[in-house]
Structure 1
Amino acid sequence: MCSHCSCGQPTRTVQLRHNLLATNDTAAERNRERFAAAGLLVLNVLSAPGSGKTALLEQLAHQWRPAPVGVIVGDLATDNDAIRLRAAGARAVQIQTGDLCHLEAAMVGRAFDQLEHQGMELLLIENVGNLVCPTAFDLGEQLRLVLLSVTEGEDKPLKYPALFKSADVVVINKVDIAAAVGFDRAAALANLAGVAPQAQIFEVSARSGVGLDALMHWFSHQRQ
């Protein structure tokens, strides 16, 4: 379709129908094959900033025994989270995405090349803190975990339905302060049931350890 711009020169609008995610999907399938060959249970962990992703992964690194946990960390800048996770006993590789608000499968594949995965059973991909951008990008994971903090409010599943609809498991974190922040648990569970009926739901405190035993048992069952 042609038209004219203000300068009088003809312009052309081109509709691109090519699947822009095709390259990513190809890399994701390659990752999935590599993860399966290594015998790994792989989770893509998504949430808003400040929801407690890293604290949860620290707990998992402490408690998943005897095998070490692997973590691929995505942040716009710094390697702070990778340092924290290594201190917790995880094998961690940091990806710095710069201005990119999500991880892509090729990035994860390159990070996996740097990860000593021998003897590992569980690989966690800590995605960039964002409830929109990472949703469409398959990284080759087996399961998608969405973390929801009580400090974010019970309506997050309604505001960001695409993310929650893609979740295999939703973890409600910081339940130890739910009363203090006025979190409406019944409303949150109802919203999740309406938007993400397929998702397993766990209520935990990454700080105190409440609820983590049930989550760990579920992970173990999924790996088996």
Structure 2
Amino acid sequence: MCRVVDLQQAVLAKNDATADALRAELAARGTTVVNLLSSPGSGKTALLEGELLLARGRGVRVAALTADLATENDAVRLARSGVPVKQVLTDGLCHLEAGMLGRHLDGWLPEDTRLLFVENVGNLVCPASYDLGESLRVVLASVTEGEDKPLKYPTAFGLAHVVVVTKTDIAGAVEFDEAAFRANVAQVNPGVEVLLTSARRGDGVGALLDRATAVAGGGAVHAPVMAGRQSLHRHEHRHDHGAHTDAAGSGAMAQSCS
């Protein structure tokens, strides 16, 4: 008897279980994870540096873990905030996974950390499918990337709890159409909050910290419609061995015979 197994679905299912366990473990110690996703060059490191500085000034116990393919440049930059920072080099892997995050937190994350900001690898494809045990998923896009970014990357934007627009200080120069961007976000993720920021001018810096602190205190989190659909799809796929894929799936299949 032979059985077809979708390897991508199996990998994601294992990651989801690990993420749930990590989320519960961190919640028990009072730590909330914020997962930041964006394309390379969106300005998320600059914004995160501002948020960390503000958190330290407010006395909020925060830490940051930043992932990249190579170099420790982002960690060096974020460490200027004076909060605990760790660099993870993925050695070519285009995303973080829950198990990887858990291993890097073990023995490093201070026990009294209230908020852990995770700066994911600069990529809007692979990281979108991997739950890291976060309670708040934030997707960022700069005004230079185009108003249709949410339509081009519907999984990333469709699973976001908050969407952040960066580099608004140059919005006029690049003729960024805010209304069009908001409409495209609403198309893939109805009801999600969109924050406008400029790390250079300081506009909107602190809004992300406010949202994260509220979530850590038990505040409500936006429920993306796509999250429910993706969960249902993965559940159904375990009982249906057809060759379809999910929104991020590779479609890789393996055949097991006995």
> Does the pair score TM above 0.5?
yes
Distance 2:196 2:203 in 1: 8
What's 1:49 paired with?
Answer: 40
Counterpart check, 1:180 vs 2:169: no
What's 2:19 paired with?
Answer: 28
- Which residue, 195, 199, 210 being the options, matches 2:203? 210
Task: Tell me the SS of whatever aligns to 1:95.
Answer: strand
Letter of the aligned partner of 1:30 in structure 2?
A
What's 1:101 paired with?
Answer: 94
What's 1:10 paired with?
Answer: none
What's 2:123 paired with?
Answer: 130
What is the CA-CA distance between 1:175 and the residue it aligns to? 0.6
CA contact (8 A) 1:168 1:198 kept: no
Matched ranges for 1:70-89 at <5 A = 70-89=63-82
Task: Tell me the SS of whatever aligns to 1:21.
Answer: helix
**Structure 2 unmatched runs, 5+:** 218-258
Task: Tell me the SS of whatever aligns to 1:201.
Answer: strand
- Which structure carries more relative contact order (alpha carbon 8 Å, separation 6+)? 2
What's 1:60 paired with?
Answer: 51
TM-score (norm. length: structure 1):
0.89
Distance 2:11 2:212 in 1: 33
Equivalent residue pairs, number: 213
Letter of the aligned partner of 1:204 in structure 2?
T
Task: Tell me the SS of whatever aligns to 1:24.
Answer: helix
CA contact (8 A) 1:70 1:115 kept: no
Distance 1:26 1:193 in 2: 29
TM-score (norm. length: structure 2):
0.78
Distance 1:102 1:213 in 2: 26
